[in-house]
Amino acid sequence: MSTPNVERAAPRFQPPVTALLSGLLIAAAVPPWGWWPAAFMGLALLDRLLADRPTSSRFRTGLLVGVAWALPSTIWVVDLSPPGWLLAAALHALWLGLAAALVPAGRWRRPGLVGAVTLAELVRWSVPFGGVPLASIALGQAGGPLAPVVRIAGPLLLVALTVAG
């Protein structure tokens, strides 16, 4: 009697769980935690999640990553305004969702991700009411080795370099 040759793959998380993990890793880079390497891991997960996915899937993935990034990293806003915290987190997630939807699915995904996330951070820092640059990728990299580039071209260069990984 022969046994079938069945390859067992390592268990993989489902994309929504991985998206939440990605957002939590990016949040872990932001103060008060400030573990800056976590952002690189979270952004690498986001990059993989966007590979060869349709636009609607990329949007949902970006939205989930944004929620998991924004809610824990801005939890202190609850002391000021619980509805404001939820609204700010929703807006943060929306910008990242739109950025993820703009990323091309093919071979231009990586440079597209760098450009789209950098643009989303710029928009988040500007809209609404002059913007709210809370829990940003640049803030999470303040203690990292790339931080000195801010002196050359500002925090958006730091965002772009961090996303480029």
pLDDT, one tens digit per residue, over 133-149 is 889 999 999 999 999 99
Please give the pLDDT value at position 127: 86
What share of the chain in percent tops pLDDT 70?
Answer: 92
Q: Which residue has the tokens 């990292």?
A: 144
- Compute how many other C-beta atoms are within 10 angstroms of the C-beta atom of residue 44: 14
Q: Where are the alpha helices (DSSP H) in 29-102?
A: 37-50, 55-73, 82-102
Decide if pLDDT at 156 tops 60. Answer: yes
Residue 44 tokens read as 């690498």
Please give the pLDDT value at position 13: 63
Please give the pLDDT value at position 10: 44
3-state SS class at 159? helix
Cα-only R_g, the chain? 17
**What is the distance between the alpha carbons of residues 165 and 151, in angstroms, rounded to a whole number?**
19
Q: Over the chain, what is the mean pLDDT?
A: 92
Please give the pLDDT value at position 129: 76
Residue 103 tokens read as 């990323």
Q: Picking from 1-5, 55-59, 87-91, which range would have the lowest pLDDT averaged per residue?
A: 1-5
